[in-house]
Each structure stands twice: as C-alpha cells, then as structure tokens.
Structure 1
Amino acid sequence: MDTQRRTLLAILICVLIWFVYAWINPPPENPSRDESKTAAVEKKSASDDAPAQDEDADEAADPVADDGSSPVSTVERKTGRLENELVAFDVTNAGGLLERVEMRSPQFLDESGKGLDLLGNRKPTLTIGFDRGEDGEGTDFRFKRDTVWEVLESDQANEWKLRHQTAEVEVVATLTLGVAYEGLLKVRVANKTGETQRHRLALGSEFALPEEASRYDIHRGMCSTGEDVEDFSVDDVEDETGRVKGRVHWMALDSKYFVSALVPENLDASSCAISTNESQNALFGRLTFATEELGPNEAETYTIGLYFGTKEIERLETYSTVAGAHLEGSIDWGWFGALNRTLGKLMLRLLRWFYSLTGIWGVAILLLTVVVKAITLPLTLKQMNSMKRMKEIQPKIEEIKEKYGDDRVRQGQEMQALFQRSGVNPLAGCLPLVIQMPIWIALYAMLGTVVELYREPFLWLPDLTGPDPYFILPLAMGALMFLQTRLQPAMDSQQARMMSIMMPGIFTVMMLFLPSGLGVYIFANVVLSLIQTVIQVRPGKPAAAAES
C-alpha cells in the first residue's frame, strides 16, 4: 500500500471511530460489587408479626401465578402520595404500588407547577407477584392479577403499607420514600398453611417510551450481576425477552438523564428480564428471586432498595456506597471506561464551577471549550507540524513513486527509508487525534447526561439536552469546518476531497440530532480551530506555507 493510501486510510479511521461511536451506544463500564455479601433471609413465625394498621396503600401483580383460585377482592381502591423536596410517589393499592413518579425540583416543573412524570407508566407499576418458573412449579402460592390490596395504617412518615392474604399466603408490602430519590420496599411473605410451601417472589416495573424521541436519546433496560452490566434496547427485546440469570445485583430502566432501579439488599435476585410490548411504547423489567421454601407459619422478608431519579454521578455513587450496588454503572462512559469516567467527572466539576461564575450553562460550556482547547493545543500543533513536514518531502515521495512504480516492495522500502531520514511519521498526523479521542468521548458522555442542562435554554436553543430545532448550529459548524479545510495547506486531490467534503459533511449530519449542549461545544471548538488556522496563515503567505 503506498503512502497516499495509508494516509487516506489513517484519516478515514480517525473520522469513522468518532462517527461510529456517536451512532452506537456501547455498554457502560462494568461495575464491581463486593461479593462478600451473603444472602440474608429473615425468617420467623408469622404469628410473631402483628398485621399492622390501616392508612393507604397499593397492590400489584405483574408476573403473578394466577389460577383464578383467589376470591375476587371487594377492598376499596385507594390512593396516596409520598413526597419530599425532589420527588413524589403517587401510590395506589390496585394493580401496582406506583401510579406515578413525579420530579419535584423547580427545573422539572411546568408552568402549571406540575412535575415531570419520570416513568410515564400507563398503568400502576412496581408490581408484586409470584413467578411460576420455567417448569411451572416455581410457586405454591396463587395471586389474582387484579387484586386490590388492603391498606394498612402506618405511624411512619412517607410510608405506604399494604396487605393481601388468601387461605395459603399473606403478603405485606411496605413502601417508604426516603431522602432525595431513594426509597425502600419491604415485602413480607408468610405461609399460612400447615405444610411447607415454595415460592419465587417477582417484582415488575415499567418505563414508558416517548412517542417522539431523539435519535441520540437512549431507553434501555439493564441488569447488573456485579461482574457485568447487560443492557437491552427496545430493538434488542423486540422479538425475544432479554434475560440475565445468577446473582442479579440490580435491575434498572433508564433514559439518558433518568433511571429507575430496584436494588435487592443483602439478597441477590436470581434472574432479571427485560421486555417490551407489541406497540413498543414501553420497556418492562422483572426481577425474580430464587425459589424459597417456607415451613408452616414461617415468614420471609425481602428488602429492596429503590432509586427513582436523575443520573447524577454524585447521587448514584452516594447511593451505591450505602447500598453496595454500584448503580453508577448505569451511566454510559463509552469505550474508555474508567479513563472516561475520571475525565468526565473532572470536566463536570469544571463546568459547574464556570456556571457558578456566570449563571448561564451555555456560557459555562463555552468556557469549558476554551479550557479543553488550550489543554489539547500542544497535540494539535504537533499534528499540524507533522502535516507540514509531510508536505515538505512530498516531491521526494513522488520521485520514489515514479522511479519504483511497478515494484511495490522496493517502493515501500524507499519510502520507509525517506521517512526515517526526514524524521517523519506518516501516521503522526492522526496520532494526536487518537490521543484526544478519550477527551471527546468523555465530553460526549458528560454533556449527554448532565441533568442540569435539562430544559435549560441558551440563545435560540430552548433546551440544551435536545437538538437544535432550527439546525443553525450544525449547518454553521459544517460551513466553518469547510472553510477551515480551505485555509489549510494544499493536499493531493483525494485528500482534499476527503478533508473538505467528507469530514464537514459527516460532522454536520452527526450534529443534526445531537443534544445542543454538545453541539455548542463542537461549534465553539470549530470556531477556535478556525481562528488558530487564520492566525497561522499569515498575510502575504500562501496557505501551503503555514503550519498545519
């Protein structure tokens, strides 16, 4: 392969790596989990537990074993509300514990004062039931899917307590809203028969999908086994349910900025399933525990941590520290995992600091762009200097091609010798781009998940987390990038076509539906690069003489 083709291939690889990354969301970094935690099951006599009192509550059975044996419930349907400064749980006692999860921060309130609906579920979610298992023998208990639970009184603040009982089993569910976005669900299963009974507890959740979503938004179901995080998109589960078996540490349904997660405490679930419905307007998750046996009048209590809120790295890390779940693994940092997480967190702190100075997130992004540009400037200059040196030896390269045109082996040897004598590396122009790539990807991940930018306007942009509705940023960026390539040193015709048409075109298409906060960064970076090029192309000198 001659030098021209190698150079073209190197440039193409640099462009395509970034292009492909923007279109394909890779799995997040694998979180680790302390495997020293052992399954802990609380068992005691059912008669030792007083049934509780009566207030307001909610039932639900999604993965329920239903043979119609349970009597039709005549319990009155009730609703309630648990809330703190950040989030509110609208709870019910029919079909599922949660009717709605409402974000209460001022950032998420509309003009009428109504908060953002986090889940958008079309029916009550956070369901409780018993799984039959693959062999149909997973449980001896039976549950009606449309059961209305009895609401029990509670003397605890922000607590919703429900009970459902048949001749075989009594189930008491207690949902508590804690601080911030954290909650707790306790499910007590009691065997009321005189025989040993088996059961497999199963919890279900739902995350509705918007009718119109950005191409660059993500909606996934995730299952963490501690050693790995498996994620499933709607397309992944269109034809077949996604399943993960064996010590599931948490299950989550998420979008770019929000996540709803179920985290078993001290008792890992045995399987996790992610599915969608026929119309594909929602994702469903099911967390199933291992089959357990209860002796006569024995009871077992399951404790499940809940997180329904924003994907703020500090909140997720704090929650993970408490629950040991490593829920921060729900953030997709891209290919370079730990490196990107470190870079992203550093740039996020800097971005927030700039915001504290200016009070405008768009301006903070512009200032961050200047800092990142200054940090990467030495690499950029190295790249440009390498291109200049390649230009200087171009006549000798052409001589070698002409002299050894039919002898590719000899031509390659002579080219290599020329590069060594001249101290030129034909791929050196691409290397700085590759080195900067972790920074770009970390910025992409960070700016793509910074919930502070949600619904935040800037200039003509109504929301920095949404695309530019007028396409001003992408079109202006493409034009400036094209202009920059015209100011740079002259290249052979193939390189010129690639640099002046392909790259601006690719980046313009990429930016059409990118979050405009990221678009502001890319546009500002192109402006700074253009200014740098103009400065280097001094008056009275042709562009070919400037460093590139």
Structure 2
Amino acid sequence: MEQKKLDLSTIIGFVLIFGIVAWMMIQNQPSKEELAAEKAKKEQAEKAKQQNVLKAAKTEAVEIAAPGDTSQLKALRGKLGDFAYSATMPTAKEGVTVLENDLVKLTISNKGGYIKEATLKKFERFKKNSGELVELVNKNNASLNLSLNTRDNHVLQTRDLFFEPVVTKIGDSQVVTMRLHAGPDKFLEYRYVLKADDYMLDFDVRSQGLAGVLNNAKPVDMNWDLKAFRNEKSISYENRYAEIRYDYEDGKHTYVGQGKDAKETAEDVAFIAYKQHFFASILLTKTPFKTVDFTSKNLVDDEKKDTVFTKAFGSKIPLAFNNAGEIDYKMNWYYGPADYKLLKKYDRNIEDIIPLGWGIFGWINKLIFVPLFGFLSSFIAYGIAIILFTLIIKLVMSPITYRSFLSQAKMKVLRPEIQEINAKEKDAVKRQQATMALYNKAGVNPLAGCIPALIQLPFVYASFQFFPSAIELRQKSFLWADDLSSFDEVAKLPFRIPVYGDHVSLFPILAAIAIFFYMKMTSGDQAMSQPTQEGMPDMSKVMKIMIYLSPLMMLLFFNNYGSGLSLYNFISNLVTIGIMFVIKRYVVDEQKIHAQIQENKKKEKPQGKFQKKMQEMMEQAEAQKKLKK
C-alpha cells in the first residue's frame, strides 16, 4: 500500500514551530519577584479565609440551647423552627463516631452527620514507609449537606446542625445512625452500615414525621463536595487521572471534562465517582438520581506551589419526596482503591471508572492485559512480571510481524521494476495501471504490509491505557525505580524544562535508545519498499528525520509518565529488534522471494477483487480525463 508521505518542508516547519513554542514558554515564565508577590497574595487570601472560618465557627457554637433556658430556645425556634429541638438534646455538641474494619476507618461528625474522615489502612501516601496513610477525607476537605426548606419558611443547612448518634451491631456489621430531630419522633436520618473486610458501606437517607415540617413542593438538594488530596509522587501525573465519573441512563458511562472549571448535568444517575489516580470515593444509589449537576475545578496551577489538592469536585443532587411526603433513599458509599478486579466484584458497573479505553482497546485490556498481568504478578516480582508480560505479547504477535517484514521484502524485490515503469510511463493513470498489473502478476498485495501494522496498533494503544491504571504497580520497586506507577528519577535538575520537567528519568532514555535502533533497522527497508513517485519527496530522507524525532518525543513526553509504561516500551522495542534480526537473517530470504515472484509472473492469474476494483477506478479516471480534453 502506498503510504501517505509528508513533504520535507512540512516536517521542518513542525520542528521549527515546536522550537518557537518551547522558547516562548521559557521566555514567558514569571520572574522571581512576580512569583514572590503572587505567593504573598495567596497567603494573605488564605489567612483571611481561615479567619472567616473561625469567626463563623464561633457564631455557630452559640446555636445550642442551655438546659432550662426558655428564652434561648425561643430565639432558636425563630431561626430553626421545629429543628430547634435538635439543639436541646445532650448530643448537641462537637463530637465524632468511628466506624472501622481492617480496611478502612471512617469518622462521622455529630455536626452535619457526615463522614469527615476516611482513611485507607492498607495504603500509604507517596512517601513510602513514612507511616502516612492514604486519606480520601480529612477534616475540611469534604462535606455532605442537605438544604431543608421548611413550611414556616426557614432554609436550613444540615452541615450546621447537630445529629444524635446511635451505635449498634448487626452480626459482624457496625451500624451508626445519625438523627437530626425536629421532635421526639420527627427526624432526618443518615444510616451507615460497615461490613467486616469491605470498602463498601450501606448509606440510607430517610425522614420520619417530616411531611408536616418540610416543604415538599420541590426536592431537597443534597450537595456532596470533596477536594481530592494528593497521594502520589507526581501531583501533575495524579491530577491527569483525577476526574468525576458517573453512570447514567441505565448503563451509560462518561466523565466530566478536565477543564479549569468544568460543569455538566446528567439525568438518571446510578453512581457518582470522585476518582483520583488510584483511589475513589463513590456514591451509589438504588433509585437513580433524576438530575445531577456536576462541577470539577482544577486546583493545580503550579505543581511547585499547589501540592496538597488536585481537584475540587461537587455534585448537586435533588432528593425527591415519596407519596407520603417523606425522603427515602437506599444508597451505598465506597471509599477504597480504584482496582478494576475489586470493583468488578460488586457487580454495579463501578469498574467502568478505570480508564482502560473504549471499544476494542478496552476489550484488549479487560480480556487479555488485566488477567494476564494479574496472573504473572501473582507469583513473581512486578518488574519481572512486566518483562515477562511484554515477551508473551510480542511473541504472540510475532507471526504478524513476520507477515509485515515478508511484505516489505517482496516490495523491495519489485522496486527496480516499479522504477522502470515510473521512468517509462509519464501518464499518472497509465503508470498506476502498469504498477497494479505488475503486483497482480507477481502475486504481491501492496496492502499486506499495512494490515499487520494496523492489527498491532490497538495493542500498542491499550498498553498506554493499561499501565497508568494498574494499581498493582503502585509503590512497587524495580532496579532503580522506587515506584513503577510514577517516574523513575535518577537525577534532579536545577531548572525546569517545558514539557520535560525538572528531573531525569532513566527508563524513557532506554526506551528512546531502543526506538532509535529499531527505526534505524527498519527505515532502510521501508524506504526501499516504497518506490519514490514523481513529485513526491524521497522517503529515505523522511525516515532519517523520523529516526531522530521519534526518540525525542519519547524523551519529552515519557519523562513524567509511570516507569512501568516506559519499562514496557523499552522491553517491547528490544524484543522487536531481536525478532526482526531473526526474521531478516534466518527466515526471510530475498533470493527465494525473487525466484518465487518470477515464477508467479509466468502463471496466468485472474485479478483479485482489490486489483479489479482499482483497475475499474483507473479506467473511469482515464475516461473522464479524455472526456475533459
């Protein structure tokens, strides 16, 4: 198949544009004085914000009725209506209740009744062996709030009100019931049930006796907000995979965009996932939410300064009243690792939050890569598992590689005759007809070299999705890499290079070297197999540019990627070079191919469908050309 060729001047133009953009990025970096001023401004704003928070906390602290203080109770009734009853209870004070098993620890606040801390006990933050566990929720980075519109025209926020906690057990499950009272038998209830050895907990929201208290003319707005903590070594790499994902309209799955301030609305939502790179906070509902408004804000403008949070997620969820004028929602909450195999076991489609790719790419990952790598890594070290995984994939694909090289060899043998045709036939249509006739006689299909390459492309793309999503690689070391899910820094630079970063990773360098030698080996054959057409640049010159451009792109873009992916690419190219060497030296014999082609020419061979179709198209083009003349 004749490949699409780039004009040499176009390639040079791309390189110049890339250089100009890089130079502009360096020149437009702020000065030290500007950075210092910006930092001082941010610190002042943060200080003012903290003072406002403290001031608000002091104001809310007085919203509790002292025993027997009827005047204060009357004042609270003026502000809270029937829910002033909650301020008279003994539990109307700051306090927490803990739900805990071997996997997760959840701390629930009396004030607001929501989870204010969620800690994963089996995972550490990016500072390995520091003892700092992964925290999905900590103090003021998350909230769950219901806006209650009462019949006496009050608008109350549950995050500011005190719930009564009750702790019980059902078998091995721990149960915490949080009730916001509007009277002895009137309340809003959050019910949390945590099973043993499970990241998933039941979460029910219901009301009792509030039909005459709440205005049910419109649904109650539930707002779930969370600022995602940084838990990985590279905050920019982690931020790339931090996003809201959700299931809607009975099985459809999508995500909120990665923009600075992304907003989206969806209907019939079955679950909402605040996904970080390797962890997730997921709210599931058995009764789909009718509409949900999502917001996602990027909090990393400068990874040197913005080192605590990646994104701020928000969901506005309307909870509808039932026919009795009450709220009753059966839900679940998941705080745990974004592990494909673990999430799939729940059979709620939440494994779809793992970005394994769409279409055929996703199927390759789900049916081949995930089970194969899971099997290998179950009994050998993860670095060795990647190497063995790569060897198996490349060996399975070797027959396809062989077909590609065989096709190139055939085209290379025919090149002198094609050049003869090009020199003899000046008319483009007749030249193509003669070339197709030669292909048909020789028994050569020009598409045969492209089809094997196209078959391999989905596997290449699938690997780019699989390795960044493989939580198995997190904090697993190999050789000099201390974390295969992050970059393998071997040297720290005293400055930052745009796109590249401020460090040197070794596996991308090795992968770039392997790509260089791979392209060096193949560039000659590819150029020889593709005859130069009149008015088109010599492919050998184009390939010479690509020999150096491809390794450069590997160095630039993979320096900040996970070292597991770079290791895979390094081994993959190394194995391909070995397979090519064996095929070219011991399998593909150009003399035998030439003899076979000459033998094919002597035989009468009917045109194939492809050749026949091409012949018809060329004849039609020739007829139209004559008609115009």
Normalised TM-score (structure 1): 0.76
Distance 1:79 1:275 in 2: 29
Q: How far off its partner does 1:278 sit?
A: 8.0
Query: SS of the residue aligned with 1:94?
Result: coil
User: Which stretch shifts more, 380-389 or 428-437?
Assistant: 428-437
Asked if the contact 1:151/1:162 (under 8 Å) is kept, the reply is yes
1:6-46 deviation line (CA, Å, top 9, x unaligned): 3679xx9xxxxxxxxxxxxxxxxxxxxxxxxxxxxxxxxxx
For the residue of structure 2 that corresponds to 1:421, the secondary structure is helix
Partners of 1:124 and 1:496 lie apart in 2 by 52
Q: Which letter maps to 1:364?
A: A
Name which of 200, 222, 246 aligns with 1:182: 200
Give the match for residue 451 of structure 1. Answer: 471
Structure 1 match to 2:160? 147
How do residues 262-301 of structure 1 correspond to structure 2 at under 5 angstroms?
262-265=283-286, 267-277=287-297, 279=299, 281-286=310-315, 288-289=317-318, 291-292=320-321, 295=324, 299-301=326-328
Listed as ranges, the matches of 1:386-535 within 5 Å are: 386-405=407-426, 407-470=427-490, 471-488=505-522, 489-490=524-525, 491=527, 492-497=539-544, 499-535=546-582
Q: Deviations over 1:428-480 (max 9, x none)?
A: 32321221223233333332222121111111111111122232111121122
Shift in Å at residue 363 of structure 1?
0.4
Could you say which residue in structure 2 is the equivalent of 1:355?
A: 377
Q: 1:354 to 1:241 in 2, by over 3 A?
A: closer
Q: Secondary structure of 2:515's match?
A: helix
2:356–2:462 contact (8 Å) kept in structure 1: yes
Letter in 2 for 1:487: M
**In 1, Cα distance between equivalents of 2:262 and 2:362:** 32
Which of 78, 91, 100 pairs up with 1:83?
100
Q: CA deviation at 1:149?
A: 2.1
Q: What secondary structure does 2:378 align onto?
A: helix
**Matched-pair contact (CA < 8 Å) for 2:167–2:176:** yes
Pick closer, same or farther for the CA change 1:504–1:112 going to 2, 3 Å. Answer: closer
Q: Which residue of 2 aligns with 1:312?
A: 339
- Identity rate, percent: 20
Could you give the per-residue CA deviations for residues 203-255 of structure 1, whole angstroms, max 9, x where no partner exists? 414141538221784111122112421201341xx34521112x111111112
d(CA) in 1 for partners of 2:209 and 2:576? 71
CA distance in 1: counterparts of 2:444 and 2:239, whole angstroms: 40
Per-residue deviation at 1:342?
Answer: 5.3
Show the counterpart of 1:228. 252
Larger Rg: 2
Partner of 1:125: 142
Post-superposition offset of 1:116:
1.1
Pair 1:161 & 2:177 matched: yes
Structure 1 unaligned regions, length at least 5: 13-66
The 3 A distance-change label for structure 1 pair 396 and 499 is farther
Q: How far 1:520 sits from its partner (Å)?
A: 1.2
Contact 1:354 1:364 in 2 (8 A): yes
1:492-518 superposed Cα distances (whole Å, 9 cap, x missing partner): 423422552333333343422222112
- Does the 8 A contact of 1:252 with 1:285 survive in 2? no
Task: Give me the whole-angstrom Cα distance separating, in 1, the residues matched to 2:151 and 2:279.
Answer: 34
Counterparts of 1:141 and 1:253, CA distance in 2: 32
Shift of 1:194: 4.0
Distance across 2 between alignment mates of 1:493 and 1:113? 56
2-structure distance, mates of 1:493, 1:312: 46
1:373 counterpart = 2:397: no
**SS in structure 1 at match of 2:98:** strand
Q: 1:163 & 1:310 partners in 2: Cα distance? A: 30
How many positions carry a matched residue from both structures? 470
CA contact (8 A) 2:243 2:257 kept: yes
Q: Could you tell me which runs of 5 or more consecutive residues in structure 2 were left unpaired when the two chains were aligned.
A: 11-77, 301-309, 491-504, 528-538, 594-629
| Cα distance in 2 for residues equivalent to 1:170 and 1:433 | 65
Higher helix share: 2
Distance 1:334 1:276, change over 3 A: closer
What's the offset of the Cα at 1:142?
A: 3.0
Q: CA RMSD in A?
A: 3.6
One-letter identity of the residue aligned with 1:497: K
1:334 is aligned to 2:357: yes
| 8 A contact 2:187–2:209 mirrored in 1 | yes
Relative distance call for 1:497 and 1:224 in structure 2 (3 A) is: same
- C-alpha contact 2:151 2:213 (8 A) present in aligned 1: no
TM-score by length of 2: 0.67
Equivalent position of 1:6 in the other structure: 4
Distance 1:122 1:276 in 2: 20
Following the alignment from structure 1 to structure 2, what is the Cα–Cα distance between the partners of residues 484 and 328?
Answer: 37
Q: C-alpha distance in 2, partners of 1:170/1:282? A: 34
Q: From the superposition, tell whether residues 434 and 498 of structure 1 become closer, same or farther in structure 2 (CA, over 3 Å).
A: farther
Cα distance in 2, alignment partners of residues 195 and 96 from structure 1:
20
Query: Are 1:209 and 1:283, in contact at CA under 8 Å, matched by a contact in 2?
Result: no
Q: 1 or 2 for the larger relative contact order (CA 8 Å, sep ≥6)? A: 1
Rounded to whole Å, the distance in 2 between the matches of 1:473 and 1:398 is 43
| One-letter code aligned to 1:206 | L
Q: CA deviation at 1:264?
A: 0.6
Q: Deviations over 1:503-542 (max 9, x none)?
A: 3333343422222112111111111112233445549xx9
1:501 to 1:411, Cα distance in 2 relative to 1, 3 A:
farther
Contact 2:174 2:193 (8 Å CA) reproduced: yes
Residue 400 (structure 1) shift: 2.5
The secondary structure found in structure 2 opposite 1:213 is helix
